[in-house]
């Protein structure tokens, strides 16, 4: 299993719009082969910072999703006008070796 950690920081007071977009997401990833689950969260002391944790059976499953049509469709729900803090976007693939 791998976990993909995605992080970004909202720069323009659209925190609630971003949270609502995740709450009402189209769930396209939920049926993708190899997808195991997702959590979206913010640090208690920095609500503008968003962390997205997705769990995948393997790296190939994530890569297939990331290159696929559903990935691009799922991102159409990003609130219009959203601006991110420069340099705040990060994606890390983590190998899970114990649970």
Q: Is 5 helix (H, G, I), strand (E, B) or coil?
A: strand
Structure confidence at residue 76 (pLDDT)? 86
Domain boundaries, the chain: 2-95
Q: Which CATH class is domain 2-95?
A: alpha beta
Over residues 20-41, the mean pLDDT reads: 95
SS3 content of the chain, % helix, strand, coil (to 5): 30, 30, 35
Looking from the CA of 35 toward its CB, the CA atoms found within 13 Å total 17
Q: What is the pLDDT of residues 46-82, one digit of tens each?
A: 999 999 999 999 999 999 999 988 888 888 889 999 9
What is each CA distance from 24 to 6, 21, 51, 67, 74, in whole angstroms? 19, 5, 17, 23, 11
pTM: 0.88
Distance between CA 78 and CA 89 in Å, rounded? Answer: 15
């Amino acid at each position: 299993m791998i976990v993909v950690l995605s992080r970004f920081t909202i720069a323009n007071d659209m925190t609630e719009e971003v949270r609502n977009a995740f709450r009402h997401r189209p769930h396209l990833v939920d049926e993708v082969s190899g997808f195991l689950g997702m959590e979206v969260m913010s640090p208690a002391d920095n609500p503008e910072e968003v962390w997205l944790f997705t769990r995948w059976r393997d790296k190939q499953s994530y890569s297939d999703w990331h290159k696929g049509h559903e990935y691009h469709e799922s991102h159409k729900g990003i609130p219009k006008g959203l601006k991110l803090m420069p340099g705040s976007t990060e994606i890390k693939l983590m190998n899970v070796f114990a649970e």
